[in-house]
Structure formats: structure tokens, C-alpha cells
Amino acid sequence: MNQSNITFEEAMALSKLPDESLLKRANDLRNKTKQNKVFTCGIINAKSGFCSQDCAFCAQSTHHATDVQTYPLFETQKIIEKALAFADSGATHFSIVTSGFRLNSQEMATVCRAVDAIKHNTHLILCTSLGTLSLEMAHQLKQCGVTNYHHNLETSRSFFDNICTTHDYDDDIETLHIAKAAGLRVCCGGIMGLGESWKQRIELAFLLKELKVEAIPINFLNPIPGTKLEKQPLLSPLTALKCIALYRLISPEADIVVCGGREVTLQEHQRRLFFAGANGLMIGNYLTTPGQKIDADLSMIKELGLHIQ
């Protein structure tokens, strides 16, 4: 098997392995394509709640009754201050994230002002995750200094209707095409553990490969009380690590970034996520749930002999 060009059938066979041999293959491939270099990304939940979409996992949806904090888009200065704090902490990337289907023109102007200031005052690689885009919006982001656009597909096309019914899967794919057309790098992945099968996880992985996304964020469901998936069981640590490994094998050159839910799912196995194929880590808090302390993550990376770049 050529582990840098595996087929759907080979990926399915690997997913059924009862042991951890898959992880070594993925780690060998990470060493080949990324060496011992990793990056870290901090985010700001710059606009929280009030989302019209009914994504089954999301605490910010108006379709769910959660105790998540809600607020309109932060002022420019508050976004800048958060970015500066992450830069001081050692993050290499910073992402401005907002809830909702799409920003209005005034909100876009606020984000662009923040990006421009952050670009001129830090060395952070800047990302945004603002919902769906028009081509004009994508060009605005590129011009003000955004490098990466993040927009998750969340799950496979064949499982999507179980997760969201308020917009079409193709709406999300169109945003990826628009971001690429404007010259932005695309960061797109999903959430593992929504109730999908291995076949559906692999279906998503091959679609991301087909779309040539540059970075693949992998999240693990952390069930939030009040959402439709509040009683969904967590994935086992080995299943989560196998997800990371398969995505590395399917997209050898992509950045594989482990994000939300890793603490509750991997627990004491968090140190192994890089050796399952990841080369990126989200640090700090997530959108509506707390993360591990940044110093602990940076210490972990150093102890593993990896270098943040």
C-alpha cells in the first residue's frame, strides 16, 4: 500500500484495525511531510449566539436552549487585544470566529479593521471564520491581511441532513470555492463523534482531499446540555486517534489541526495526537467551552521534542 495515496477501500480496511498499527503509519508520514514542526492557533469567539442554523451540536443555535453567553460582534479594539494576548503567549495563528450564517457589511468592516491592525502589530498568521461568503467579502478579507479562511463542512454529505436542515451542503462547499478564488488558503474539516459511521468519516476525508483544502481541523464532539446531541456518547481515545491518523494518510500534505473536544475525548492520551499524524493544535478556549491552559499545551509540545513554527 502506498500510504501517501490510499484508496477509499484501503482507508476503510485501516479503520477496522483493532490495534494501533495505523497510528505508526500516520506518524511516519507526518515526519516525512511536516518533520517535527507544529503550529498553534488561538481563536476569539467574536460574536456569540443568535444563530439561525439548527446544527445539532451547536450551543449557539437559536433552535437550542443552552446557557451559552450571547453578544453582538466585539468592537475592533477588543479583537485586537485578544490577538495581542495570543501573540504574547506563543501562538502562531489567530482566528476571528463569529456565529451566524453570514456577516453584514458593517460587521465585515469591523473585522477588516481588526485584521489590518493585528497584521501590522504581530507576526500572527490571520484566519477568519465568518460563515458563508460572497466573492466581494472574500476579496475584502484577502486585501486586509487574512491568510486562511475557515469554514467546516462538519460531516459527510450523506450524514449532513442528520446534523443540519437549515442550509444546503452545497452552500458550504460554494464558500470554500469562493475563498479559494480570492486567493485565501482554506481551512475545512469537521466534528467526529456526531453519530456518523467510519464510512462517513472517510467520505468527508476524501471530499476534503478532492477540494484540495490546505488545512483540516478535526474536532471531537463535546456534548452540550440543551443541544440535540447532548446525550451522544464520547468517542474512545483510540477511535479519535485513528480519525487523526486516517485524515493524515488520506491528505498527506495538508495541515491536520486538532481542535475542540480533545481534552474530554483524548484525556491522558492528548500527548499522542501528534504521533497520530497531527501537526497543528488549537490552544486556549474554544467557542463556548474551556480549553486546556496554554502553558500546559506549550510545555507538552516542547517535552515531545516538537518545534513551534
Query: pLDDT, tens digit, for every residue of 209-248?
Result: 999 999 999 999 999 999 999 999 999 999 999 999 999 9
pTM to 2 decimal places: 0.95
The yes-or-no verdict on residue 1 having pLDDT over 60 is no
Residues 82-91, mean pLDDT to the nearest whole number: 95
In this predicted structure, the answer to whether residue 195 has a pLDDT above a threshold of 50 is: yes
Q: How would you label 235-268 residue by residue, b for 16+ Cβ within 10 Å and e otherwise? A: bebbbbbbbbbbbbbbbbebbbbbbbbbeebbee
Mean pLDDT of 40-54: 93
Percentage of residues in the chain with pLDDT exceeding 90?
A: 88
pLDDT computed for residue 279 by the predictor: 98
Domain locations along the chain: 21-308
Burial 171-186 (b: 16+ CB within 10 A, else e): ebbebbebbbebebbb
Q: How far is CA 55 from CA 61, 100, 101, in A?
A: 7, 11, 11
The alpha helices in the chain, defined as continuous H runs, are 8-15, 21-34, 76-89, 105-121, 135-144, 157-160, 169-181, 198-210, 237-250, 262-266, 294-303
Q: Quick one: cell of 170? A: 452545497
- How far apart, in whole angstroms, are the C-alpha atoms of residue 39 and residue 93? 7
Name the fold adopted by 21-308: TIM Barrel (3.20.20)
Q: How many CB atoms neighbour CB 116 within 10 A?
A: 17
pLDDT of residue 285: 87
Asked if pLDDT for residue 21 goes beyond 70, the answer is: yes
Q: Is the pLDDT of residue 134 over 60?
A: yes
**Span 279-287, average pLDDT:** 93
Average pLDDT over residues 44-49: 92
pLDDT digits (tens, 9 = 90+) for 144-192: 999 999 999 999 999 999 999 999 999 999 999 999 999 999 999 999 9
